[in-house]
Chain A
Amino acid sequence: MSEQRRLRIFRGTRSSGELKEYAVEAGEGMVVLDAVHKIQAEQAPDLAVRWNCKAGKCGSCSAEVNGRPKLMCMTRLSDYPVEQPITITPMKAFPLVRDLVTDVSWNYEVNKRIPGFRPRTPDAPDGTWRMFQYEVERPQEFRKCIECFLCQDVCHVLRTHGKHQEFIGPAFLVRAAAYETHPLDVAERRDFLKTEGGIALCNITKCCTEVCPESITITDNAIIPLKERVVDAHYDPLAALWRKLTGKSND
């Protein structure tokens, strides 16, 4: 079973570019990334695109398919009507490198600034800890993040307002939440989240949650609880003192 599909792919650089239409023979089950690869192999060897796993595990192949942020390797051609061309453009919240590839290095810089993991002293004399499955499940949701940056791409604070200097974006609020909910972690991140993190800039539109390919409930499970903690920390001097003295959170 194979049919002709039309793809309009952005080709160009930061200075100039256009949508170019390609026709491909599409086989059963094909995903957008397959079609892009077929075009690359047969018609346009210099078509720039990132990928690695082809199974939604590495978060490399992020782009916008008909304007929606998607992993190209997990987006089936058959989800789109055959009569219409499918439009594929690079993520908009980051500077373009070429074609479908954007410069996502800002994300790596942000990640470096988040205070890293610091464990409490070991629970057992052999230097190990005890944690229960119910305790690890919460952070495990956040640890599923594959760093595809689609949530960053869709968030209006970054996409529309370009506040990359003031806001770390949903992906790194998820990262911070992973640390903060880690049963062993005792590091302090509230000041960071409030100041450099810019957590107040998020106005809970939930667009990030909608696009996350890992179905992480970014807003409800990560951002809102973090916001609450930050507010507590900054308006309750007693709680802050308690944390300082014990190295523990007060919830």
Chain B
Amino acid sequence: MSTDTPADLVVPSLQAHTGQGLGTGNPADALVVEPARARSKRTPRRTRTNFEMLAWLFMRLSGVVLVVLVLGHLLINIVLDGGVSKISFAFVAGKWASPFWQFWDLLMLWLAMLHGSNGMRTVINDYAEKDATRLWLKGLLGVTTVFTVLLGTLVIFTFDPNI
């Protein structure tokens, strides 16, 4: 293919194109010619797990639950009973005194974080072209997800209204 040919070896054709050329001359355009990652001749290794299926199912199910959780959260926190101006340390402390709201927020934290990071994982899989880039981005994503989820869980369970 042309991409392996040194520039000085490219021979201009003797037959001129009729019509008017619109070439950009931009080397980046050549990328379009060769797909980013071509399918190899051999069949890809079978992974033999249901991970992708479970991730896909999780996205659907958590999405449905999140609609209820997030809309309920927004309604209670910023619409009903005085609106957004009522939110204060005392309001949050009052909410977390009840195990019901602790559980609600915990579930919302876990589902939203996992739902969001799985979506990001999909985006990275789709758009990272180099294996190394993909690995790094996914590593970073994993670390941030675990950190946020653990920190949030810790706060919900060890929250002390008297600090």
Answer yes or no: do A and B interact.
no
